[in-house]
Amino acid sequence: MTSLDRESCYRAVKSRDRRFDGVFYTAVRTTGIYCRPSCPARTPAFQNVTFHPSAASAQAAGYRACKRCLPDATPGSPDWDVAATAAGRAMRLIADGVVDREGVDGLARRVGYTPRHLTRILTAELGAGPLALARARRAQTARVLIETTELTYADIAFASGFSSVRQFNDTIREVYASSPTDLRGRRGGRPATGTVTMRLAVRTPYLGSALLDFLAVRAIPGVEAAGDGWYARTLSLPHGTGTVRLEVPDADEPGQTAFATATFTLEDLRDTAAATERVRRLLDADCDPVAVADAFAGDPLIGPLVRARPGLRVPGHVDGPEIAVRAVLGQQVSVAGARTVAARLVAEHGRPLPNPVDGLTHLFPDAATLAALSPEDLPMPRARGRALVALCAALASGELALDRGPDRDDVRRRLLAIPGIGPWTADYVALRALGHPDVFLPTDIGIRDALAGLGRAPATAAQLAEAWTPWRSYAQLHLWQSLTPETPGKEK
C-alpha cells in the first residue's frame, strides 16, 4: 500500500485540513467508521486510527463511511493527474464505469497491463483491487442519487452501475450501515424521467467564471451553448446520448469545498456515472489549487497572475477524440475561424439528438464518420484535411486512445507519428483531453503575446517554463487569461 506517514496524516486530521480530503482517509478502530481528514467530530486518539489511500481500502478493512462528514463525497485525489501512474490512470477509467461495462479485463487492456498485474498495482498503491474500487465508486454515486434526486431505488441501482437491486441494497447497507430508505429520509421516489441534477464537489478557491468564459468563446453551435453563469453541451455516452447544463461557482476562500450544479438529461440512466466523471474532468474538479498557488508564490512572472485570479482551472473535456479534432481544426487559425469550420462539420456530419433542447441539437461527429471523408471535401487546407482524416482513422481503429487510460508519453508519440500533427497539437490534446498538469505550448501565439505584454521576450518561453514544473499547464492558462478576452490564444 502507498506509504502514508502516520505522523503527518494525524497532524492534518488534528488541524482538520480540508486540503487532504480525498488524498487519504482516517479509519477509527473504536467506532468502526472512516472519515475525511476534515471531519468535524472529536479527533480520535492517535493509537486508535489507521490511514487509507482510498475509500475502497477503508471499506475493504471493514469500516463504514461516517454519516457526518461523508468521506466518499470529496473530490478525487489530485495525485491521479499529477503523477498519472498506472493506478491513477486506472482510477480515472474506473470512475468512468469501465469496470462495470468491460470488466477488469477491459480495464487492464486499456491501461496496458495484465489483469493480475494491474490488481497488484492497485492493491499496493490504493489498498484495494479494481472490483473493490469500482464498488466504492458505485456506492458513492448511489448515495448522491438517493439524497439529491427523487428517482426510485430501482432506477438508482442501475444508474449507479449495480447489476441488480439486491446488490445495490446489500452494498449500501454494508458501506453506510443504513438502508437506502434511511439515507433518503423516507421520502418517496418516482419513476425516472431521464433528468438528474447533481452537485459536483470542487476544491477551493475555484474561479468558475473564467472556466465558463473559456468554454463559451469556443462553443460550437448545436453542440454547445453558454450564457450568463452557465454552460451546456451534448454528450456521447456508452449507452446513449445526453446533455448537461452546468452552473459553476466562484469561490474565493481557500481550503474548502464548493459545488458545481450539473443537470443531466440522459437517454439511458446507466450512463450517470460516466457522464458525471466526464464533466468532472471538464471542470478540473480534482485539482488542488492551494498547491498550485504555493508553487508559483515566489515567481515574479506567474505569481502576480495567480494572486489576481486565484482558483483558475485548466478546462478539460468530455470527449478526447472531439478535442483532438478541434485541435487540428485550430492549427494556424483564430478561435472564430476554428469555430466556423467546426460548426460546418457538425451541421454536415454530426448525429442529431433524438430530443433537441435549448439549442443543443447535434453530437460532434465521431471519429469513424470523419475518417471516412475525403480530405479534399473538408473545408480546410488539403494538408490539414489529410492530418484530420489520418487522426480520425487512428482513433476509430483503436490504434490511438484518448480516454486517460494509456501512458501520456505513449499517446504523444503516437500523435506525433501522424503526418501533419506537431508538438503544439499533441501538447494541447494532453492539456485538455488527458488532464496533464505539466504541459506548456511555447510556440502558441497567445503565449507569445502574453509574454510580450508582460515585458518578457517570447523567444524565452520554453526557458521560462522550466521553472513552472510540475504545474506548467496552469501557468499556460494564467498567461492566456492575462490577455484580453478577444485574444485568448489559438483554438484548441
Question: Catalytic residue positions?
Answer: 35, 444
Cα 370 to Cα 263: distance, rounded to the nearest angstrom: 30
Pull the grid cell for residue 95: 470512475
Cα 387 to Cα 380: distance, rounded to the nearest angstrom: 11
Cα 65 to Cα 71: distance, rounded to the nearest angstrom: 6
Q: Which residue in 243, 220, 246, 242 sits closest to 233, CA to CA?
A: 243
* Residues 422/416, Cβ–Cβ less than 8 Å: yes
277 Rama sector, left if φ>0, alpha if ψ -120 to 50, beta otherwise:
alpha
C-alpha distance from residue 163 to each of 135, 169, 170, 474 (Å): 11, 11, 12, 40
Pull the grid cell for residue 213: 468564459
Q: Name 348's Cβ contacts closer than 8 Å, sequence gap at least 6.
A: none
233 forms bridges with which residues in the sheet?
224, 244
In angstroms and rounded to an integer, the radius of gyration of the C-alpha atoms of the chain is 22
Q: Name 204's Cβ contacts closer than 8 Å, sequence gap at least 6.
A: 251, 252, 253, 254, 255, 256, 257, 258, 289, 311
Four-point Cα dihedral 98, 104, 107, 112, nearest 10: 180
Q: What angle do CA 209, 226, 309 make, to 5 degrees?
A: 15
Residue 467 DSSP code: G
Write the single-letter amino acid at 412.
R
* Residues 200/262, Cβ–Cβ less than 8 Å: yes
Q: Is 194 helix (H, G, I), strand (E, B) or coil?
A: coil
* Residues 286/314, Cβ–Cβ less than 8 Å: no
Pull the grid cell for residue 1: 500500500
